[in-house]
């Protein structure tokens, strides 16, 4: 039965086509400014066809964000070099997180700001990619504490505090691009280093 498999493949292909058209438009014009008709035009299908592949516009956003989170997770996990210094590893991960956000500012905002607004109630489910990203952070913090590089702080709260800090600087740099920031990397380092200094015994 090669036919059914080909059909499945073709469906998957169109799904991906829709997804990549949606991402490009969302990123360039903003989620709200993109209409289903625009996406449909881009892929040269009728608007309603999209509804055969995605529940609605929010579901489309959801799928785009899931890809972004996977991309972020890959970026972070690629860093794992086992240098033996868990604090330095955490510092590098923090930098990589912010840089990821600044490299794909609109994707970052879609994932961490826009999406939560459009699907209240189910932001970070068990087993989701988002949870896996946070687990990565949790593991790094945990290692810092285990090796006594950090003072005896609560892993959970510490991880959340670190996330807060990097999330904050990422968003400010994206949203207030005309603010008279000091040199960008200096600020990023300041945020991360200050947090780590505060956690170091």
Partner DNA sequence: CTGATAAAATTAACAGTGTTAAGTTAAGTT
Partner DNA sequence: AACTTAACTTAACACTGTTAATTTTATCAG
Site residues for its own copies per CB under 8 A: 30, 32, 112-113, 116-117, 120-124, 153-154, 156-158, 160-161, 163-169, 171-172, 175-179, 181-182, 186-187, 190-191, 193-199
Stretch that binds DNA, among 7-15, 142-150, 155-163, 165-173 (CB under 7 A): 7-15
Stretch that binds DNA, among 44-52, 73-81, 134-142, 170-178 (CB under 7 A): 44-52
Q: For residues 27 and 110, is the Cβ–Cβ distance under 8 A?
A: yes
Of 5 and 178, which CB lies nearer to its own copies in the complex structure?
178
Q: For residues 133 and 72, is the Cβ–Cβ distance under 8 A?
A: yes
Task: Give the single-character DSSP code of 114.
Answer: I
Instruction: Give the CA angle between residues 80, 84, 89 to the nearest 5°.
Output: 45
Cβ neighbourhood burial of 167 (10 Å; 0-12, 13-18, 19+): middle
Residue 52 binds which of DNA, its own copies, none (CB < 5-8 A, kind-dependent): DNA
Taking CB under 7 A as the criterion, the residue among 47, 123, 168, 198 binding DNA is 47
| Phi and psi torsions of 35, nearest 5° | -105, 155
State the helix-helix crossing angle for 184-199 and 155-175, rounded to 10 degrees: 170
Residue 196 binds which of DNA, its own copies, none (CB < 5-8 A, kind-dependent): its own copies
Q: Does position 11 bind DNA by CB under 7 A?
A: yes
Q: For residues 112 and 97, is the Cβ–Cβ distance under 8 A?
A: no
Coil vs helix vs strand at 189: helix
Q: Does position 56 bind DNA by CB under 7 A?
A: yes
Of 47 and 198, which CB lies nearer to its own copies in the complex structure?
198
Residues that bind DNA (CB under 7 A): 1, 3-4, 6-7, 11, 14, 34-38, 45-49, 51-52, 56-58
């Amino acid at each position: 039965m090669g036919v059914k498999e080909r059909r499945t493949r073709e469906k998957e292909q169109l799904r991906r086509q829709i997804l990549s058209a949606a991402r490009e438009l969302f990123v360039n014009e903003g989620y709200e400014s993109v209409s289903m008709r625009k996406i449909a035009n881009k892929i040269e299908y009728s608007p309603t066809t999209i509804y055969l592949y995605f529940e609605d516009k929010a579901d489309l956003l959801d799928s785009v964000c899931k890809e972004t989170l996977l991309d972020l997770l890959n970026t972070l996990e690629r860093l794992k070099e086992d240098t033996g210094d868990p604090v330095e590893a955490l510092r590098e991960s923090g930098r990589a997180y912010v840089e990821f956000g600044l490299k794909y500012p609109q994707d970052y905002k879609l994932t961490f700001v826009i999406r939560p607004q459009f699907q209240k109630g189910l932001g970070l489910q068990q087993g989701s990619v988002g949870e896996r990203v946070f687990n990565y952070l949790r593991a790094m913090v945990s290692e810092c504490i285990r090796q006594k590089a950090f003072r005896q702080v609560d892993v959970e709260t510490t991880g959340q505090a670190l996330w807060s800090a990097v999330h904050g600087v990422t968003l400010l740099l994206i949203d207030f691009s005309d603010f008279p920031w000091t040199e960008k990397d200096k600020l990023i380092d300041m945020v991360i280093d200050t947090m780590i200094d505060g956690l170091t015994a």
